[in-house]
Amino acid sequence: MKKVAVIVSALCMLVAPLASIAASPDQDLKDFRKYYTNLFPDVPFQDFANGVYSVDKGSREQWEAFEEFPPYEIFVDKGEVLFNKPFKNGKTYSSCFPNALKGIKQNYPFFDKNRGEVVTMELAINECRKKNGEKPLKYKKGAITYVGAYIAYKSRGKKSNVKIVDTEKSMEWYELGKKFFYAKRGQLNISCADCHIQNAGKRIRANNLGPALGQTTHFPVYRNKWSLKSASGDGMGTLHRRYGGCNKQVRAKPFKAQSKEYRALEYFHTYMSNGLKLNGPGIRM
């Protein structure tokens, strides 16, 4: 009997640290969500998917007007054409994404156990192209955002469902992303959290700062600011394009789109919005 007890307690000691590793992202998520639901008690949970417009009543009306004739629509259409256009080998994107029309974006990014790394939607799009003998697309804007917008559109209404796999390697990626989010950086020495947690709902220069909860649900995004920069008026950009912009705001050198750092950040950041319905692509003013 005594022997059994010893074995059981030894087993518990083995299991306990594993369990606490598993519990920690879950606890992070609960704390993260609770912070915002306490700070903005009048905002219904699902409304956080609207980003800054969930808390900024002033710009909400103008944004809703944009949503009535959304400028991203033509890019969704372009994405549909690209999605169905055969590659040189005759296959299409659907050979890599057989369930795309039912909605798959909610499961991205995911940790690929065999590869030991985080795979984002954009990475998967380019890997599909390479597998089929096509050149990869640029990661921040252009065609990748059209295909991404079409996939996002087909995933509307699905709840963000990122899984933090309970392995040492995936926890490493998760922790890297979390650290990135809370680390001060740039000449201004400001973290993502300083702006999007501590100061969410407050103003910085002419801008209102949105909560980090719900920031990932609507990408790729059409941004009026980006459209003004483009000769053709194409304002579409990926999440990593936006990460780069937010890094530059604090005068930090941005990382490359799809770098390990930004993929890890996306893993943590998107996981924090689990349970929110996807509503991409979005329009941002």
What residue ranges bind ligand HEC (CB under 6 A)? 51-52, 190, 192, 194-196, 204, 207, 209-210, 215, 221, 242-243, 246-247, 249-250, 265, 269, 284
In the complex, what is the shortest distance from the CB of residue 168 to ligand HEC, in angstroms, rounded to a whole number? 25
In the complex, what is the shortest distance from the CB of residue 3 to ligand HEC, in angstroms, rounded to a whole number? 53
Considering the complex, state which of residue 79 and residue 210 has its C-beta at the smaller distance from ligand HEC: 210
108 contacts: CB under 8 Å, gap ≥ 6: 119, 120, 121, 124, 162, 270
Task: Report the chain's terminal Cα–Cα distance, integer Å.
Answer: 69
Q: Residue 244, Cβ neighbours under 10 Å: how many? A: 20
CA distances from 59 to 40, 55, 125, 210, 283 (A): 17, 9, 34, 12, 12
Considering the complex, state which of residue 141 and residue 242 has its C-beta at the smaller distance from ligand HEC: 242
User: In the numeric block, which tokens belong to residue 284?
Assistant: 């941002």
Considering the complex, state which of residue 150 and residue 262 has its C-beta at the smaller distance from ligand HEC: 262
Considering the complex, state which of residue 129 and residue 220 has its C-beta at the smaller distance from ligand HEC: 220
User: In the numeric block, which tokens belong to residue 210?
Assistant: 């949105």
In the complex, what is the shortest distance from the CB of residue 95 to ligand HEC, in angstroms, rounded to a whole number? 31
In the complex, what is the shortest distance from the CB of residue 124 to ligand HEC, in angstroms, rounded to a whole number? 20
Considering the complex, state which of residue 145 and residue 247 has its C-beta at the smaller distance from ligand HEC: 247
CA distance 1 to 194: 55
CA distance 256 to 261: 8
In the complex, what is the shortest distance from the CB of residue 242 to ligand HEC, in angstroms, rounded to a whole number? 5
